[in-house]
Amino acid sequence: MSEPEAVQPRIALLGVPIEIGASQPGTLMGPDALRTAGIGRILDQLGFAVEDHGNMPRPGVAPAEGPPPANAKYYDVIKTWVRALSERSYALARSGAVPIFMGGDHSLSMGSVNGVARYWQEQGRPLFVLWLDAHADYNTPQTTETGNMHGMSAAFLCGEPGLDRLLGGGIRASIGPDRLDLFGIRSIDPLEKQLVFERGVAIADMRAIDEFGVGVLIRKVIERVRAQNGVLHLSFDVDFLDPAVAPGVGTTVPGGATYREAHLIMELLHDSGLVRSVDIVELNPFLDERGRTARVAAELVGSLFGLQITDRRTPSNALFPRNG
């Protein structure tokens, strides 16, 4: 009797061209820049069935539901994106594909992570979030210095107050501060810093990375997730990288991760077999140099899903089998 044919693992690409949560225009071009850089081709060559769902259309602005929160710029527009994306994210997670949300600014994570967290709650498995970013994004309307909502996304996901009506009647599937890891942080506002420490959020800033190395610190994240039978969402802001590696962002901060450090992180996450959804955010092609940042981001996604120079036996080989 012949063996059943192996099911080809699926990845769903979804562009989320939102830029209004950030301080500079241009991130709405991010999804198409990633496509041009070959993200779909790389994943296809790794043996995945790649489903490109195109870019989400801009949702119609919902009627105002009372005054918006103070210090939350463009709240009424962003809430329509977040509500629509939360539903799309939930549906993609339910489909069995690994969704990759291509942004767009980091405010999109309030929808993408909420949707996948809702799905994994139904499966009885906790969702953890690894936040690769130069910024903590743990502001609330009460702590923010700018009012830009891309800087409030992590706080919203952890259930912080201030944006309580953002999802309207939708389910808010908060993850809790104990399931968030801020990694590569090198810029944080004073009140934001106080809130992060009060909540006990795990932080690996660039000092810790310099002192201990990314391998040690990422393995600690992986061990925490595995110990609770959890799954991992990777929220990758390209400003996590040093501006010399990735200049195409609107919020550059010197002293970021190197090209090789970033690839090692992705390789270790692949080896863990725990990543079930991904954001790629804040890519601004308008500020890039001949598509360099988009190409680097696409290459890093390749490493996350198994691209390597020599074949190594890893726990995720069985989970994400490759052709050949």
Strands of the chain, DSSP E = 10-16, 49-55, 98-103, 127-132, 180-185, 202-205, 231-237, 275-281
Q: pLDDT class for 21, splitting at 50, 70, 90?
A: confident
- Does 3 score more than 70 pLDDT? no
- Does 303 score more than 70 pLDDT? yes
pLDDT reported for residue 23: 80
Q: How far apart are CA 40 and CA 50, in angstroms?
A: 7
More confident residue, 25 or 294: 294
pLDDT reported for residue 149: 97
Among 19, 105, 137, 189, which one carries the catalytic annotation?
137
| pLDDT tens figures, 185-239 | 999 999 999 999 999 999 999 999 999 999 999 999 999 999 999 999 999 999 9
Write out the DSSP string of 60-100: PPPPP-SSPPTT-TTHHHHHHHHHHHHHHHHHHHHTT-EEE
The answer to whether residue 189 is catalytic is: no
Q: How far apart are CA 280 and CA 45, in angstroms?
A: 20
The answer to whether residue 270 is catalytic is: no
The contacts of residue 289 (CB under 8 Å, 6+ apart) are: 247, 248
Among 106, 233, 263, 270, which one carries the catalytic annotation?
106
Q: pLDDT class for 313, splitting at 50, 70, 90?
A: low
Neighbours of 1 (CB within 10 A): 3
| pLDDT tens figures, 122-153 | 999 999 999 999 999 999 999 999 999 999 99
The answer to whether residue 282 is catalytic is: yes
Token digits of residue 269? 């996450």
| Residue of 132, 109, 105 lying closest to 17 (CA atoms) | 105
The answer to whether the CB of 33 falls within 8 A of the CB of 285 is yes
Please state, for a pLDDT cut of 70, what percent of the chain lies above it: 93
Task: Provide the sign of the torsion angle of the four alpha carbons 30, 32, 34, 39, taken in this order.
Answer: positive
The answer to whether residue 288 is catalytic is: no
Among 150, 233, 263, 270, which one carries the catalytic annotation?
150
Among 160, 189, 192, 237, which one carries the catalytic annotation?
237
| pLDDT tens figures, 32-53 | 999 999 999 999 999 999 999 9
Please provide the distance, in angstroms rounded to a whole number, between the alpha carbons at the two ends of the chain.
Answer: 23
| Residue of 200, 281, 204, 293 lying closest to 245 (CA atoms) | 293
For the residues 164-189, what does the mean pLDDT come to? 96
Give the number of C-alpha atoms closer than 13 A to the C-alpha of residue 286, restricted to the C-beta side. Answer: 11
Give the number of C-alpha atoms closer than 13 A to the C-alpha of residue 259, restricted to the C-beta side. Answer: 10
Cis peptide bond prior to 104, omega within 30° of 0: yes
The answer to whether residue 263 is catalytic is: no
Read off the amino acid at residue 213. G
Q: Phi, psi at residue 245, to the nearest 5°?
A: -90, -40
Among 160, 192, 267, 282, which one carries the catalytic annotation?
282
209 membership: H or E segment, kind and range: helix 206-212
Q: How far apart are CA 260 and CA 250, in angstroms?
A: 22
The answer to whether residue 271 is catalytic is: no
